[in-house]
Amino acid sequence: MTNSEPSVGEQSLEAILSQTLGADAPAQLADVLPFLVRDLTEIDARLHQVLGSTYPQLTEAARYACSTGGKRIRPLLMAATHRALGATSTQPIHSLAAAFQLIHTASLVHDDVIDHAEMRRGRPSMPRAFGLPTAIVAGDYLFVRAFELAADYPRAIILRCGEACADLVEGEVLQDTSRFDLTTGREHYFRVIERKTGAIVAAALASVAEIAHASEAVVDACASFGKALGIAFQVRDDLLDLYGDPDLLGKPLYSDLREGNPTLVALEAYGSLEGAKKGEFERIFALRRKQPGDLLRLRTLTDETGAPDRVAAEASRWAERAIRSLDPIPPSPYRTLLVRSARGAADRRF
């Protein structure tokens, strides 16, 4: 690794842990921290190694996308799951963790093209920084490198990875059909986020369990945990779009509202409103171009319904469901990290 590549030092993993798992997490997990730091550093190195291209522009674009790819929560969950299942070295899952991180990043890059996003994690989004053509192509490149990494594994794992990607894009298409439309309802919403967010985390953790030669029950438990955690994460995301701190999030608020995504908060608020206010909410929500006043009005109407508290409770219920899925996995500091990750997904501020 050269200096130009982002690395995961002990400091930054501590920051990740306290931000996503609570301030006391580094202290509580002090015994296992060095192992996870090494895991994440090695996964990052593997990831950056495969991004090298003979074309500096493409390497630069791909690495830029990965350096704004978020909190590395997926590789952390994969490493912790592998160790919670008894692995003393996570080397066998490094390529797979890098592959899933690349798939996640590729989907974010194409999302940002589709959603006209300007910012991602405090930096210009890929299409903003490199232009639409390079953003589309760099997303493809990340998918391609992910599949090359997956080629290290048995066919069943490659196919599981592929199916999760298919779920991911199905979720995108399904989401696109419901834009600016509040009548699609909760069932549709959960179908979208199960595919967009749940399936890929489920596939990642189930694959780790398979590589650890876990029993079928444990593989299923890991899949259920990943799916529920992914859903908790996404439900929380909906709230942060309205009530988060834009500096912490690294992007402006209200992007879901602007793009007409019927989030769970919007659906809950709409379901609770009656009469003229319901009509007003629906009408403003459907506007293709919303003024700042429109966005604030939607938020005010949402506040009046109490929807945010109910949605926060729903995120927590998904986190608890994730945690119950871990029953077949024996207690360990790594299992504790998984438990805290699920609660963190539902409580996080960024």
Our CB check for a copy of itself shows the closer of 19 and 53 to be: 53
Candidate residues 27, 159, 286, 296; the one interacting with a copy of itself per rule CB under 8 A: 159
| Residue 233 contacts residue 197 (beta carbons within 8 Å) | yes
Does 151 engage in binding with a copy of itself (CB under 8 A)?
A: yes
Candidate residues 29, 33, 37, 61; the one interacting with a copy of itself per rule CB under 8 A: 61
Sites for a copy of itself among residues 199-258 (CB under 8 A) = none
Does 162 engage in binding with a copy of itself (CB under 8 A)?
A: yes
Does 180 engage in binding with a copy of itself (CB under 8 A)?
A: no
- How many Å apart are CA 218 and CA 190, to the nearest integer? 24
Candidate residues 14, 170, 220, 294; the one interacting with a copy of itself per rule CB under 8 A: 170
The H-assigned helical ranges of 52-125 are: 56-67, 73-84, 94-114
- How many Å apart are CA 142 and CA 105, to the nearest integer? 7
Our CB check for a copy of itself shows the closer of 41 and 53 to be: 53
| Residue 45 contacts residue 2 (beta carbons within 8 Å) | no
Options 4-12, 162-170, 214-222, 261-269: segment touching a copy of itself (CB under 8 A): 162-170
Q: Is 123 helix (H, G, I), strand (E, B) or coil?
A: strand
Candidate residues 45, 137, 253, 312; the one interacting with a copy of itself per rule CB under 8 A: 137
Element (H, E) at 25: helix 25-28
CB of 172 to a copy of itself, least distance (A): 4
Residue 332 makes CB contacts below 8 A (sequence gap 6+) with: 83, 84
- List beta partners, residue 123: 120
With 0-12 / 13-18 / 19 or more C-beta atoms within 10 angstroms meaning exposed / middle / buried, residue 162 is middle
Q: Which two tokens stand for residue 61?
A: 């674009």
Chain contacts with a copy of itself (rule: CB under 8 A) = 53-55, 57-58, 61, 106-107, 110, 113-114, 131-134, 136-141, 143-145, 147-148, 150-152, 155, 158-159, 162-163, 165-166, 169-170, 172-174, 176-177
